[in-house]
Amino acid sequence: MRPLPLAAVLTLALAGTALAGPRPAGIALTETGLTVTLTNSARCQVPRPGTALAWSGTLAGCGADWSYAVTLDPGTNPAREVVRAIFADSVQMAAIGRVVLTDARGHDRVFVSPPPTAED
């Protein structure tokens, strides 16, 4: 059996990537909901149901039928509360929580909010 030429292997790999569709590139989690940005720049927006600390469902209407599960951290950080009280009208702070996105094959991608910094 002869090995496939490199060009054929690369073509097959790229075709598989293209067929897989857009993938999550990042998330933004706020007190009002979740926004998932995909690799094709599409955005999936999911509102937070009321004051729930956890919710789940399926992304829809944005080209990705991924399942999602959101868990917000119920704890409060006193420093965050002071900043929120002072700058409530001018600064939107990321909610503290965890988002798990699951593709059709059952592979999870886990995101945390706010994202870690270089100092973490």
CA 48, CA 111: separation in Å to the nearest integer?
A: 17
Q: Which stretches of the chain score pLDDT less than 70?
A: 1-20, 76, 119-120
Q: Taking CA 70 as the corner, what is the angle to CA 25 and CA 24, rounded to the nearest 5 degrees? A: 10
pLDDT at position 61 is 83
The structural domains of the chain, with segments of one domain joined by +, span 22-113
Q: With pLDDT > 70 as the criterion, what percentage of the chain qualifies? A: 79
| H-state helical runs in 1-120 | 6-20, 78-87
Give tens-digit pLDDT for 22-54.
899 999 998 899 999 999 999 999 999 999 999
pTM of the model: 0.71
What pLDDT score does 78 carry? 78
